[in-house]
A and B are shown apart, each in its own frame.
Chain A
Amino acid sequence: MDININIKKNLQIRAFYLFFVIASIQLGIGILGVSRLIYLEVQQDAWISIVIAFFYVSLIIMVMLLILKQYENADIYGIQVDIFGKWIGKLFGTFFIFHFALSFFSILITYIEVIKVFIFPTVNDYILSFMLLCLVIYSVLGGIRVIIGVCVIFFFLSHWLLILLIQPALQMELTHLQPVFVTPITDLLKGARVTSYTFMGFEILFLIYPFILNKNKAKLPIFLGLGWTTFLLLLTTILVIGYFSFDQIERREWVLLGLFKIQSFAFIERFDYIVVAEWMMVVIPSLILLMWGITYGTKRLYQVPQRATLYTIAILCFIGSLFTNEHFQIQKVINWSSEYGFWLVYVYPLLLLPIVLIKKKWQKRKDGDHHVH
Chain B
Amino acid sequence: MKRSRSPEKGSIFPIKVAELKKILQDQFNNNPDLSFSIYEKKDKKLAVFFIAYLVESEKIENFLLEPLLSKEIPWANTSIKNEIPLNGPEEVVNLKNILANLLLGKVYVYIEQEQTAIAYMLSKKEKRSLQQSETESLVLGPKIGFTESMVTNLNIVRWNIRSEDLVLERFMLGKREPREVRIIYLHSIANSDDVQTMRQRLTELDIDFVEDSAILMQYIEDSSSTIFPQFLSTELPDRFSYSINKGKIGVLVENSPTAIIAPTSFFSYFESTEDLYMRWNVGTFLRGLRFISFLLSTLLTPMYVAAATFHYEIIPPTLLVNLGLSRAAVPFPPILEALFLELMIELLRESGARLPTKVGQTIGIVGGVVVGTAAVQAGITSNVLIIFVALSALASFTAPNYLMGTTARIIRFPMIILAGFLGIIGILFGACFLVIHLLKLTSLGRPYLSPIYPLEMKDFNKVLFRLPNQFQYKRFKSYRPKDLIRYPKQKAKKKKDIDE
**A–B contact, 8 Å CB criterion (strictly below):** yes
Most buried by B among A135, A277, A278: A277
| Cα distance, A14 to B454, chains bound together (Å) | 9
Instruction: Tell me which of B114-122, B286-294, B430-438, B482-490 binds A.
Output: B430-438
Q: Given A131-B429, A139-B436, verify A273-B453 contact (CB < 8 Å).
A: no
Q: Does any Cβ of A come within 8 Å of B375's Cβ? A: no
The yes or no answer to A152 lying at the interface (CB within 8 A) is yes
A274 touches B314 (CB 8 A): yes
Within the complex, the shortest CB–CB distance from A26 to chain B, in Å, comes to 19
- B314 nearest CB neighbor, chain A only: A270
Of A123, A135, A264, the residue contacting B429 (CB under 8 A) is A135
Which of the residues A120, A135, A268, A270 comes within 8 Å of B436, measured between beta carbons? A135
Q: Knowing A135-B433, A135-B436, A273-B314 touch, does A153 contact B452 (C-beta < 8 A)?
A: yes
**Is B140 an interface residue, CB under 8 A from the partner?**
no
Q: B424–A277 contact, CB under 8 A?
A: yes
B313 touches A270 (CB 8 A): yes
The stretch of A94-102, A142-150, A183-191 that contacts the partner chain:
A142-150
Given A135-B433, A153-B449, A266-B316, A142 and B440 touching (CB < 8 A)? yes
- Interface 1/0s, chain A 112-126, versus B by CB < 8 A? 000100011001000
B315 at interface, CB cutoff 8 A: yes
Contact of A135 among B311, B315, B432 (CB under 8 A): B432
Given contacts A119-B423, A119-B424, A277-B427, contact A142 B432 (CB under 8 A): no
Q: A153-B452, A280-B432 are in contact. Are A269 and B424 (CB under 8 A)?
A: no
Per-position binary interface string of chain B over residues 316-334, scored 1 when its CB falls under 8 Å from any chain A CB and 0 otherwise: 1101000000000000000
B316 touches A150 (CB 8 A): no
CB-defined contacts of B311 to chain A, threshold 8 Å: 119, 270, 273
**B77 → A minimal CB distance (Å):** 55
Interface string of A138-166 (1 = CB under 8 A from B): 11001000101110111011000000000
Chain B neighbourhood of A156, CB < 8 A: 452
A residues less than 8 Å from B452 (CB atoms): 152-153, 156
Q: Which residue of A lies closest to B318 (CB)?
A: A266
Task: Give chain A residues whose Cβ lies under 8 Å from the Cβ of B447.
Answer: 149
* A269 touching B313, Cβ below 8 Å: yes
Cross-interface CB contact of A277 among B425, B453, B454, cutoff 8 Å: B425
Q: Are B314 and A149 in contact (CB under 8 A)?
A: no
Residues in B with CB closer than 8 Å to A127 are 422
Chain A positions within 8 Å of B435 at CB level: 150, 153-154, 157
The reply on B455 being an interface residue by CB < 8 A is yes
Most buried by A among B315, B425, B433: B425
- Give bound CA distance, A127 to B423, whole Å: 13
> Are B453 and A153 touching (Cβ within 8 A)?
yes
Does A310 sit at the interface, judged by CB under 8 A?
no
In Å, the complex CA distance between A273 and B435 comes to: 21
8 A Cβ contacts from A7-36 to B: 14, 16-17
Complex contact B436–A273 (CB within 8 A)? no
- Asked whether any CB of chain B lies closer than 8 Å to the CB of A64, the reply is no
Q: What does DSSP make chain B's interface, helix, strand, loop or mixed?
A: helix
Q: Is B428 an interface residue (CB 8 A)?
A: yes
- Give Cα distance in the complex from A157 to B145, angstroms: 39
Total interface residues on B, CB under 8 Å, equals: 28
Contacting residues, chain B, for A257 (C-beta < 8 A): none
Distance in Å from the Cβ of B121 to the closest Cβ of chain A? 45
CB distance from B375 to the nearest CB of A (A): 24
Taking the closest CB of chain B, its distance from the CB of A79, in whole angstroms, is 29
Does residue A255 face the partner (Cβ distance < 8 Å to B)? no
Interface residues of B in 437-473 (CB under 8 A from A): 437, 439-440, 447, 449, 452-455
In the bound complex, residues from chain B placing their C-beta under 8 Å from that of A153 are 435, 439, 449, 452-453
A261-300 CB mask vs B (1 if < 8 Å, else 0) is 0001011111101100110110010000000000000000
The chain A residue sitting closest to B316, CB to CB, is A269
Q: How far is the CA of A266 from the CA of B319 in the complex (A)?
A: 10
> B433 contacts which chain A residues (CB < 8 A)?
134-135, 138
| A314 contacts the other chain (CB 8 A) | no
- How far is B449's CA from A139's CA once the two chains are assembled, in angstroms? 15
CB distance from B433 to the nearest CB of A (A): 6
Closest A residue to B425 using CB positions: A277
Name the A residues within 8 Å of B310 (CB-CB).
119-120
Bound form: Cα–Cα A298–B427 in Å: 34
Query: A128: CB under 8 A from chain B?
Result: yes
Binding site for A on B (CB under 8 A): 310-311, 313-317, 319, 422-425, 427-429, 432-433, 435-437, 439-440, 447, 449, 452-455
A-B contact pairs, 20 of them (CB 8 A): A119-B311, A120-B422, A131-B425, A131-B429, A135-B433, A135-B436, A142-B440, A149-B439, A149-B447, A153-B435, A153-B439, A153-B449, A156-B452, A267-B319, A269-B313, A269-B315, A273-B313, A280-B425, A280-B428, A280-B429
| Top-7 shortest CB links A-B | A149-B453, A149-B439, A277-B424, A277-B428, A139-B436, A269-B316, A142-B440
